[in-house]
């Protein structure tokens, strides 16, 4: 039975014999070599043996002569010795010819390989030689005296050993030689001299064993050295190939100098790259570079001096970027170099690589430019601005004094909307250029995005200097800008804040300046405002209000109030305008003036407006069928929501006939995206919904808009109505109202006068031919449950409220959520305090 130890012993034995086999195979050649390499090895082995042949031939002649002399002297075995001698000398002659044939110039030898049969032939030759040597030895042994035999034994042992060593490069030869020689002599000794020389025969056997082992060992070493040599030359070849490939194909070039810094190798690419016809070899490397750098480029001249110092100090360098000019072209080279030393550690020169990195470098430059500058205007961008701003607020010390101007164009949107984006871009470029000129290199002018610019000025500027700068800026900016056939006035609102007075950190300075800018915008066109700490309070109040509004939307704290609209011709009730009110849980009733703008800026107007529309339709459905309801629609709703679908859904849910709904839009909301607005109005009117143009006369009224937009009514703004009966009014207000009414009539539109507060106004309006009137004189906006009693009072008739068709439409939660997300105050969505009048009921 086999146990584990048996098994491991057998495995060890197996392993041992495998190793032995491998090692034996290695004596004859590399077992892993390809046929070509094996042939090369065989040739080298053959040549190694062939090299010894002249000496062997010479020895053969000497031995043959000596043994012939001995045979003749003793008159023993003369014929046999002569015969062996003859064959041996013939073989020796053949060997000499063989040697001569293989003693060719190295290159020729390298090409011609020795076939296995040639190797076997040489082995056989030398084997026969060994056999005959053995026979001659035995003859001599027999002929010589006792004492002479001792000398013979020593000599023969030496001859066998020398031969074995000489022929061991080709193991077959070495083995045949040692084995046959020893075997013949051994067999002879045993056969003829057993009695006296049996011990010698045994010793000979031992000697043969050692010789054979020696031959195998030597031949294995020889093969190993051949393998090592092949590997080295293969690696050398690969390196050579790689270098050649590198030099031929890459954009790179190699350079090499002697210890004096003179170029002793310059690859074709260097010559090409240098663009010089002058031979480069022998010229100083730094001089060559120097000749390519214009003297005016001081930075590069300094860089070259640094490079020269490095070369002098024999310090290696990497990727030094040199800017050069070749054929009037700017190029960049990246240089790497390493000092070279010989085996005795003596400095021999430099070796290195150069690359033309122009494309990559230009790309890098472009990326940096893009990363730091605004591509449209060429001014510093937001990133660079913030970087420079941050430098005024060191982490480990007090803020450095600086002044910050933030400028926002007042009419940019109008230009962009009405003349197109190309005009908008052109205007931004123009403003950038004017700002740059106004700054005159003082501080940093940057474009922060959109139509917002910043000017950061270092140092403590007195107010007078700031005001002077503002005056100058205004002057520069206000010059009319000529674009195609248009002449456009450029105005900007400016916010100013100072460090360290207004802020201790970069972000605070931005914030304070932003607040000053909002205030400037709210103050009207072309204004400049300094930051005031009170602005901060207002801003935080606004933020709080926004949070409250979101909660109130969910809690249902909004109400819709209704203000009657009266027909001026017969005094009948025409309908009501729906006006939203906010029942704030803590602040009580908040008027729209305080939250509509905020809702618009934050996007909350979308769910809020949809809810008002649904609620108004729902309430109006309970009124007598002759009464209409007018609902205000914000520009943001038109922009961000599908107003068509929202309106139809509100009508459908409430069951209100479409003809009883009127949407009030402002001019500005139609101008933002005129095409979209136009198609929306067309679609709604096709369904029967009426359209009124709200606050008419306050916007950029354009006759072409009025004609192209489908609508039913103009609402004359309260500002015209309120001055109708003002003492000292020269009648211009009346003229304006009359013009509007006439214009409306020409366009087949009705008119509603807003904000009628006095009898005189009412009288004047009805004389001017206004269709409807609305105002506190007639009625204040009222809660929904006051509407039916009001109708009854006004008409003097009892009104039976119509039953509700459906439940009020709940607030669309998804829309609310989306609007809440959009409601995060952002750079572009400014929370500007609404500064309109705010009449409370």
Residues that bind ligand C2E (CB under 6 A): 563, 579-580, 591-593, 596, 609, 612, 632-634, 664, 694-695, 718, 754-757, 775-776, 781, 839
Which entry of Ca ion, ligand C2E, none binds 757, CB below 5 to 8 A by partner kind?
Answer: ligand C2E
Residue 671 to residue 152: CA distance in whole angstroms: 128
Which entry of ligand C2E, Ca ion, none binds 591, CB below 5 to 8 A by partner kind?
Answer: ligand C2E
Name the one range near Ca ion by CB under 5 A: 52-60, 337-345, 438-446, 631-639. Answer: 631-639
- Of 491, 487, 493, 500, the closest CA to residue 514 belongs to 493
Which entry of Ca ion, ligand C2E, none binds 612, CB below 5 to 8 A by partner kind?
Answer: ligand C2E
Which of 408, 451, 548, 695 binds Ca ion (CB under 5 A)? It is 695
Nearer to ligand C2E by Cβ, of 512 and 666: the residue is: 666
Which entry of Ca ion, ligand C2E, none binds 755, CB below 5 to 8 A by partner kind?
Answer: ligand C2E
**Dihedral, 780, 785, 787, 792 alpha carbons, nearest 10:** -120
Tokens 């979209």 locate to: 676
In angstroms, give the least distance from the CB of 557 to ligand C2E: 14
Nearer to ligand C2E by Cβ, of 476 and 841: the residue is: 841
Nearer to ligand C2E by Cβ, of 149 and 718: the residue is: 718
**Dihedral, 811, 817, 823, 824 alpha carbons, nearest 10:** 160
Residue 597 to residue 96: CA distance in whole angstroms: 115
In angstroms, give the least distance from the CB of 716 to Ca ion: 9
In angstroms, give the least distance from the CB of 575 to ligand C2E: 14
Nearer to ligand C2E by Cβ, of 449 and 839: the residue is: 839
In angstroms, give the least distance from the CB of 643 to ligand C2E: 11
In angstroms, give the least distance from the CB of 607 to ligand C2E: 12
In angstroms, give the least distance from the CB of 642 to ligand C2E: 16
Which entry of ligand C2E, Ca ion, none binds 601, CB below 5 to 8 A by partner kind?
Answer: none
| Cβ neighbour number for residue 371 with a 10 Å cutoff | 10
In angstroms, give the least distance from the CB of 548 to ligand C2E: 18
Q: Does 123 bind Ca ion (CB under 5 A)?
A: no
φ and ψ at residue 525, rounded to 5 degrees? -70, 150
Which of 252, 664, 667, 750 binds Ca ion (CB under 5 A)? It is 664
CB 344 within 8 A of CB 395: no
Nearer to ligand C2E by Cβ, of 29 and 609: the residue is: 609
Residue 824 to residue 816: CA distance in whole angstroms: 13
Which entry of ligand C2E, Ca ion, none binds 609, CB below 5 to 8 A by partner kind?
Answer: ligand C2E
In angstroms, give the least distance from the CB of 774 to Ca ion: 9
Per-residue contact flags (x/-) with Ca ion for residues 582 to 621, judged by CB under 5 A? ----------------------------------------
φ and ψ at residue 563, rounded to 5 degrees? -115, 125
Angle at 406 between CA 400 and CA 409, to 5 degrees: 170
The pair of three-digit structure tokens given for residue 310, joined into one six-digit string = 């490095």
Nearer to ligand C2E by Cβ, of 579 and 741: the residue is: 579
Residue 520 to residue 431: CA distance in whole angstroms: 19
The pair of three-digit structure tokens given for residue 402, joined into one six-digit string = 């600086």
Residue 168 to residue 215: CA distance in whole angstroms: 5
Number of residues that bind Ca ion (CB under 5 A): 5
In angstroms, give the least distance from the CB of 420 to ligand C2E: 28
In angstroms, give the least distance from the CB of 631 to Ca ion: 9
Residue 59 to residue 776: CA distance in whole angstroms: 144
Nearer to ligand C2E by Cβ, of 156 and 613: the residue is: 613
Nearer to ligand C2E by Cβ, of 502 and 754: the residue is: 754
DSSP 255: E
Pairing between β-strand 661-666 and β-strand 690-696 as defined by DSSP bridges: parallel
Which entry of ligand C2E, Ca ion, none binds 776, CB below 5 to 8 A by partner kind?
Answer: ligand C2E
Nearer to Ca ion by Cβ, of 39 and 743: the residue is: 743
Which entry of ligand C2E, Ca ion, none binds 781, CB below 5 to 8 A by partner kind?
Answer: ligand C2E
Name the one range near Ca ion by CB under 5 A: 23-31, 288-296, 462-470, 688-696. Answer: 688-696
Nearer to ligand C2E by Cβ, of 163 and 609: the residue is: 609
Footprint on residues 324-343 left by Ca ion (CB under 5 A):
none
Nearer to Ca ion by Cβ, of 374 and 667: the residue is: 667
The pair of three-digit structure tokens given for residue 838, joined into one six-digit string = 């705010």
In angstroms, give the least distance from the CB of 695 to Ca ion: 4
DSSP 17: H
Which entry of Ca ion, ligand C2E, none binds 246, CB below 5 to 8 A by partner kind?
Answer: none
Pairing between β-strand 588-590 and β-strand 573-584 as defined by DSSP bridges: antiparallel
CB 794 within 8 A of CB 571: no
In angstroms, give the least distance from the CB of 548 to Ca ion: 24
Helix ranges, 103-170 (H): 106-111, 116-143, 146-167
Which entry of Ca ion, ligand C2E, none binds 761, CB below 5 to 8 A by partner kind?
Answer: none
In angstroms, give the least distance from the CB of 715 to Ca ion: 5
Angle at 46 between CA 44 and CA 52, to 5 degrees: 110
Tokens 């022929």 locate to: 167
Angle at 48 between CA 42 and CA 53, to 5 degrees: 120
In angstroms, give the least distance from the CB of 647 to Ca ion: 16
Name the one range near Ca ion by CB under 5 A: 216-224, 392-400, 599-607, 686-694. Answer: 686-694
* Cα→Cα distances 514→258, 518, 580, Å: 66, 6, 30
* Cα→Cα distances 15→8, 10, 31, 126, Å: 10, 8, 18, 35
φ and ψ at residue 118, rounded to 5 degrees? -65, -40
Which of 67, 358, 416, 632 binds Ca ion (CB under 5 A)? It is 632
| Cβ neighbour number for residue 407 with a 10 Å cutoff | 24
In angstroms, give the least distance from the CB of 754 to ligand C2E: 6
Which of 256, 662, 694, 812 binds Ca ion (CB under 5 A)? It is 694
- Of 774, 753, 770, 791, the closest CA to residue 563 belongs to 774
CB 650 within 8 A of CB 663: no
Residue 628 to residue 352: CA distance in whole angstroms: 90
**Residue 830 burial (C-beta neighbours within 10 Å; 0-12, 13-18, 19+):** middle
Which entry of Ca ion, ligand C2E, none binds 548, CB below 5 to 8 A by partner kind?
Answer: none
Residue 666 to residue 694: CA distance in whole angstroms: 5
CB 714 within 8 A of CB 696: yes
Residues in the chain: 841
In angstroms, give the least distance from the CB of 822 to ligand C2E: 16
Q: Biggest alpha carbon distance in the chain? A: 175
Residue 569 to residue 357: CA distance in whole angstroms: 85
Per-residue contact flags (x/-) with Ca ion for residues 741 to 780, judged by CB under 5 A? -------------x--------------------------
In angstroms, give the least distance from the CB of 751 to ligand C2E: 14
Which entry of ligand C2E, Ca ion, none binds 563, CB below 5 to 8 A by partner kind?
Answer: ligand C2E
Which entry of Ca ion, ligand C2E, none binds 176, CB below 5 to 8 A by partner kind?
Answer: none
Nearer to ligand C2E by Cβ, of 373 and 776: the residue is: 776
Residues that bind Ca ion (CB under 5 A): 632, 664, 694-695, 754
């Amino acid at each position: 039975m086999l146990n584990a130890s048996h098994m491991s012993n057998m495995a060890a034995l197996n392993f041992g014999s495998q190793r032995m086999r491998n090692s034996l195979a290695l004596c004859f050649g590399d077992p892993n070599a390809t046929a070509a390499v094996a042939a090369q090895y065989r040739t080298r082995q053959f040549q190694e043996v062939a090299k010894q042949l002249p000496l062997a031939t010479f020895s053969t002649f000497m031995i043959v002569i000596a043994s012939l002399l001995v045979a003749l002297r003793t008159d023993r075995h003369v014929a046999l010795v002569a015969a062996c001698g003859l064959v041996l000398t013939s073989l020796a002659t053949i060997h000499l010819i063989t040697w001569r044939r293989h003693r060719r110039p190295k290159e020729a030898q390298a090409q011609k390989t020795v076939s296995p049969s040639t190797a076997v032939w040489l082995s056989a030759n030398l084997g026969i030689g060994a056999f005959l040597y053995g026979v001659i030895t035995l003859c001599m042994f027999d002929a010589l005296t006792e004492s002479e035999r001792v000398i013979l034994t020593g000599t023969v042992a030496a001859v066998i050993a020398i031969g074995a060593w000489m022929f061991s490069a080709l193991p077959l030869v070495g083995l045949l030689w040692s084995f046959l020689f020893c075997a013949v002599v051994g067999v002879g000794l045993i056969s003829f001299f057993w009695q006296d020389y049996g011990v010698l025969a045994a010793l000979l056997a031992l000697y043969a064993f050692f010789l054979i082992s020696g031959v195998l060992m030597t031949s294995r070493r020889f093969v190993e050295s051949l393998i090592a040599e092949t590997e080295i030359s293969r690696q050398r070849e690969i390196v050579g190939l790689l270098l050649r490939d590198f030099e031929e194909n890459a954009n790179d070039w190699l350079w090499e100098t002697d210890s004096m810094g003179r170029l002793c190798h310059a690859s074709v690419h260097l010559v090409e790259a240098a663009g010089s016809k002058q031979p480069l070899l022998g010229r100083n490397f730094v001089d060559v570079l120097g000749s390519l750098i214009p003297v005016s480029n001081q930075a590069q001249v300094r860089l070259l001096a640094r490079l020269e110092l490095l070369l002098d100090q024999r310090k290696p360098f990497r990727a030094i970027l040199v800017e050069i000019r070749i054929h009037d072209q700017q190029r960049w080279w990246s240089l790497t170099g390493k000092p070279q030393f010989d085996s005795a550690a003596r400095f021999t020169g430099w070796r290195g690589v150069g690359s033309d990195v122009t494309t990559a470098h230009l790309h890098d430059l472009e990326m940096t430019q893009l990363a730091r500058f605004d591509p449209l205007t060429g001014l510093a961008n937001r990133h660079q601005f913030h970087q420079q701003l941050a430098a005024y607020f060191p982490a480990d010390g007090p803020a450095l004094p600086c002044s910050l101007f933030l400028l926002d164009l007042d009419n940019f949107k109008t230009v962009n909307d009405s003349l197109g984006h190309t005009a908008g871009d052109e205007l931004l470029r123009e403003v950038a250029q004017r700002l740059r000129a106004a700054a005159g290199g003082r501080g940093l002018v940057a474009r922060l995005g959109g139509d917002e610019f910043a000017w950061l000025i270092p140092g403590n500027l007195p107010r007078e200097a700031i005001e002077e700068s503002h005056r100058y800026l205004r002057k520069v900016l206000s010059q009319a800008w000529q674009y195609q056939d248009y002449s456009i006035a450029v105005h900007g609102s400016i916010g100013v804040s100072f460090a360290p007075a207004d802020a201790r950190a970069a972000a605070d300075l931005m914030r304070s300046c932003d607040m000053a800018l909002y205030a400037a915008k709210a103050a009207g066109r072309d204004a400049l405002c300094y930051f005031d700490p009170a602005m901060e309070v207002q801003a935080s109040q606004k933020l709080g209000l926004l949070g409250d509004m979101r909660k109130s939307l969910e809690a249902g704290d909004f109400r819709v109030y209704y203000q009657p609209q009266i027909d001026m011709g017969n005094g009948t009730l025409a309908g009501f305008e729906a006006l939203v009110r906010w029942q704030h849980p803590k602040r009580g009733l908040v008027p729209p003036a305080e939250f509509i703008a905020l809702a618009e800026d934050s996007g909350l107007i979308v769910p809020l407006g949809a809810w008002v529309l649904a609620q108004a339709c729902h309430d109006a459905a309970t009124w007598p069928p002759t009464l209409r309801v007018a609902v205000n629609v914000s520009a943001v709703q038109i922009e961000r929501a599908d107003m068509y679908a929202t309106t139809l859904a509100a009508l459908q849910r409430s069951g209100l006939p479409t003809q009883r709904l009127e949407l009030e839009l402002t001019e500005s909301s139609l101008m933002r995206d005129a095409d979209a607005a136009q198609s929306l109005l067309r679609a709604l009117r096709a369904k029967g919904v009426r359209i009124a143009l709200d606050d008419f006369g306050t916007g950029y009224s354009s006759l072409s808009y009025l004609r192209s937009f489908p609508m039913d009514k103009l609402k004359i703004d309260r500002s015209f109505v309120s001055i109708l009966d003002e003492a000292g009014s020269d009648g211009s207000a009346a003229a304006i109202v009359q013009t509007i009414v006439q214009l409306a009539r020409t366009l087949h539109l009705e008119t509603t006068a807003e904000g009628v507060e006095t009898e005189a106004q009412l009288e004047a309006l009805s004389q001017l031919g206004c269709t409807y009137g609305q105002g506190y004189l007639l009625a204040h906006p009222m809660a929904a449950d006051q509407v039916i009693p009001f109708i009854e009072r006004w008409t003097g008739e009892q009104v039976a409220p119509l039953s509700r068709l459906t439940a009020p439409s709940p607030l669309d939660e998804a829309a609310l959520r989306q609007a809440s997300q959009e409601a995060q105050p952002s750079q572009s969505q400014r929370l500007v305090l609404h500064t309109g009048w705010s009449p409370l009921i």
